[in-house]
Amino acid sequence: MPTSPPRPTPKSARKTAWQVLQTLHRDAYTPLPEIINALSHKEGLDQRDTRLLTMLVYGVLRTQVRLDFALNQYLHKAPSQELYDLLRLGAYELLWTNIAAHASVDQYVRLCRGKYAELAGLVNAVLRGLDRDRQSILERDAAILAEAKLYPTAENLIFLGSLPTWLAVMWLEQYGPDFAYRLAESVQHQPVPTYRVNAARLPEYQNFFCEDGNLSIILTGNDPRFVQAEARGLLSRQGTASIQAISKLAEYLESDPRFKNAEIWDSCCGRGNKTCAMLEANLEVSLASDPSPARLTGLKKNLSRLGLATPQIQCSTLQDLADSLNRQFPVIVLDVPCSGSGTLARNPELRWRLNPEQLGQHALLQAELLDKAWFRLSPGGLLAYITCALHKTENEEQIRSFCARHVDACSVLEEYIFPDYRTSGDSIFLSFLRKE
């Protein structure tokens, strides 16, 4: 009888968190959740330790600049990247969690055994200093955050949002100090889960929650009933800004009789959150396409879970489909690949992965996608351009450049949609383009 391979001896959540941070320095592409899942499985962590690992890694990435400011008071010279990562984990745990300090310090000193034995004394001294001075460190941290609100300089925004210098400077230059402060403040918090109510199954939703009266289309929080309702197809996890973008599209189409029962091509549909939201709102999505088979598998699962009619689904790039289709659409939704700079609260690792050159590369691809989609838009039709970027080159300037290339294009709406201040989450840029 074959035997199962032996389960690996579990390693500590802290050591695995250290490995995750070091992996991020080498791997600029793999999504952080995938790195965490792979290493926690490899090291045999249980759910409790994986939760601790996740909290520490995300916490460090969201507050890295503030942690470094505190740590540098106790370091005479810049440490190696590996040591910095270890000290950041310890500092975050000591300053911003309720874990007993003596246990935290001991665990991080133990991680220095073997290869890092000569660092144990330094790690012990620095972390004990942080613990001893914790109150004064937190007071100084709070004072700088308060100063940032009054004086949103680049230096203060870097500290507030734990941002790379180029990004803070760019936000200041492009959006001004008040708007830049709002952006930096919004990305320091862990997003609260938000859910979209399945409008196609409102009676079942109402019965499940035993509610009456006004029904919100958005639910927020960690109520365990939300997870149960999602499994039953009554809710879908989706950010508030994304939900509002589709609501604005539905309202616009419903306000114009020319778009009554208009067919929609969701041309970069991904896993289909927006596709499903449009179908729930009784919009006629006739084609959904994406180049990723895995994402389209997710779309099909969501359609089945929600009990929605399945549109035609094509696994293809927008460019190839635009060249091969023999028809036009009155409405095209174009949720383009972008820098993701509006998702830093949800994806804090992007702070350190993005660079200005990448933003320009995204803008070139977006321009190509816009031109291709426009070719397949019917005269009088509407193209909804969506990004989760906070960068004018991908947003307002992209639309200006597009309208200059296409004399039959008219921008009828441009706006940023931010998540509810209580939930944080992604920010979205939305533009509606009419084909004259």
* Structure confidence by residue, pLDDT tens digits, 136-189: 999 999 999 999 999 999 999 999 999 999 999 999 999 999 999 988 988 888
* 253/367 same-domain check: yes
Tell me, what CATH number does 42's domain have?
Answer: 1.10.940.10
pLDDT tier at 76, thresholds 50, 70, 90: confident
CB 208 within 8 A of CB 229: yes
Query: What is the share, in percent, of the chain residues with pLDDT greater than 70?
Result: 95
**432/412 Cα distance (integer angstroms):** 6
User: What tokens does 125 get?
Assistant: 């001294």
Same domain, 53 and 107: yes
What local confidence, expressed as pLDDT, does residue 421 receive? Answer: 60
Tell me what the mean pLDDT of segment 72-86 comes to. Answer: 91
Q: Is position 58 within any domain?
A: yes
Identify the band that residue 236 occupies on the pLDDT scale cut at 50, 70 and 90.
Answer: very high
How does residue 79 score in pLDDT terms, banded at 50, 70 and 90? confident
pLDDT tens digits for 391-428? Answer: 999 999 999 999 999 999 999 999 999 877 667 789 99
* pLDDT confidence bin for 70, thresholds 50/70/90: very high
* Contact (Cβ atoms closer than 8 angstroms) between residue 15 and residue 42: no
Task: Give CA 422 to chain center in angstroms.
Answer: 16
Q: Say yes or no to pLDDT of 117 above 80.
A: yes
Give backbone dihedrals phi and psi of 327, rounded to 5 degrees, phi first. Answer: -150, 170
369/387 Cα distance (integer angstroms): 12
The whole domain housing 71 covers 13-150
Q: Are 403 and 348 in the same domain?
A: yes
CA distances from 241 to 177, 196, 274, 306, 418 (A): 22, 11, 11, 21, 6
Please give the DSSP secondary-structure letter assigned to residue 308.
Answer: P
Tokens standing for residue 330: 């009155």
User: Once rounded to an integer, what is the mean pLDDT over residues 323-333?
Assistant: 96
Half-sphere exposure of 353 (CA within 13 A, CB side): 21
| 323 shares its domain with 248 | yes
Spatial separation of the C-alpha atoms in residues 87 and 93, rounded to whole Å: 10
Segment holding 179, helix H or strand E: helix 165-186
The pLDDT value given to residue 5:
40
**Count of structural domains, the chain:** 3
Q: With respect to residue 226, please indicate whether it lies within any of the assigned structural domains.
A: no
Looking at the structure, tell me whether residues 47 and 128 fall in a common domain: yes
Domain CATH code at residue 393: 3.40.50.150
Output the pLDDT for position 209. Answer: 85
Residues 139 and 251 in one domain: no
Q: Are 307 and 430 members of one domain? A: yes
CB 180 within 8 Å of CB 171: yes
**Residues 170 and 281 placed together within one structural domain of the fold:** no
